[in-house]
Amino acid sequence: MVTTKEAKFTESDYLLLPEGLRAELLDGMLLKEPAPTFWHQTVVGRIHLQIAALVEPTRVVVSPIDVFVDRYNVLQPDVLVTPEDTVIRLGQARVPIPILVLEVLSPSTASRDRDQKVAIYLGAGIREVWLIDPLAATGEIHTSEGIEYFTKSDPMESAVVKGLVLNLEELLRAGQFCP
C-alpha cells in the first residue's frame, strides 16, 4: 500500500514568491486572493485614518503587509497596529507581531478570517483581533478572554490602542455597502 503525505508550504516557499503577489500562507496552504473590492478598501482606508490620528502613523499599516506568524502561517491583515516601541528600518522586510489586527470581512473570505485566522492571530500573541462585516453592519473583537459582538449602533473600543473607538454606523455610512 502506497501512502502519500500532503506537502505543506512553508515560510521558505512563501519567500520565493514574486514581490507584489497578493497571497497568504494559512496552515501550510498557499492562498492566492483577488484584489479587494472598492468598498472593502474604502472601509479599510477609513479605519486606517482613524487609527493614524491616534498613534504614530508609522505604527499603523494597511495590507498588503506580511505578518510572519510561524513556519506555516504568513498572513496579511487588512489593518495592523504594531507595538509602541516599534522601529522599522528602510528595507526591513518583517514587522513585529502586531498588538491589534483588523479584518474587513468579504463574502469570499469571511469564514476563513473568522474560523482560522483569528485563532492563528491570538495564538501568535496578538492582543486584539477585530472583524468588521460591512454587509451585516456588525463587528467583533476577539481576545484571549473571549469575543465581544457589536451592532452598528454599538461603539467598538480598543483596550490596547488608547482612544480607539469605531462607530460602525459612521464607518460604514449605511446604504453604501450593498451585496
* pLDDT (tens digit per residue) in 54-92: 998 889 999 888 999 999 999 999 999 999 988 777 777
Using left for φ > 0, alpha for ψ between -120 and 50, and beta otherwise, residue 136 falls in alpha
Percent of the chain's residues with pLDDT above 70: 93
DSSP assignment string, the chain? ----PPP---HHHHTTSPTT--EEEETTEEEE-PPPPHHHHHHHHHHHHHHHTTS-GGGEEESS--EEEETTEEE--SEEE--TT----TT----PPPSEEEEE--TTTHHHIIIIIHHHHHHTT-SEEEEEETTTTEEEEEETTEEEEEETTSEEE-SSSTT-EEEHHHHHTTTS---
Which residues partner with 79 through β-bridges? Answer: 62, 102
**Which amino acid type is present at position 147?**
I
Mean pLDDT over all residues of the chain? 89
> Is the Cβ–Cβ distance between 162 and 152 less than 8 Å?
no
- Domain range annotation of the chain: 36-172
Domain 36-172 in CATH 3.90.1570.10? The answer is: yes
Judge if pTM exceeds 0.75: yes
pLDDT at residue 7, as a whole number: 78
**Residue 62's pLDDT is what?**
93
Q: Which three cell numbers mark 170?
A: 459612521
Instruction: Indicate if the pLDDT at residue 174 is higher than 80.
Output: no
pLDDT tens, residue by residue, 11-67:
999 999 988 888 999 999 999 888 888 889 999 999 999 999 999 888 999 988 899
Handedness of CA 175, 43, 142, 26 (dihedral sign): positive
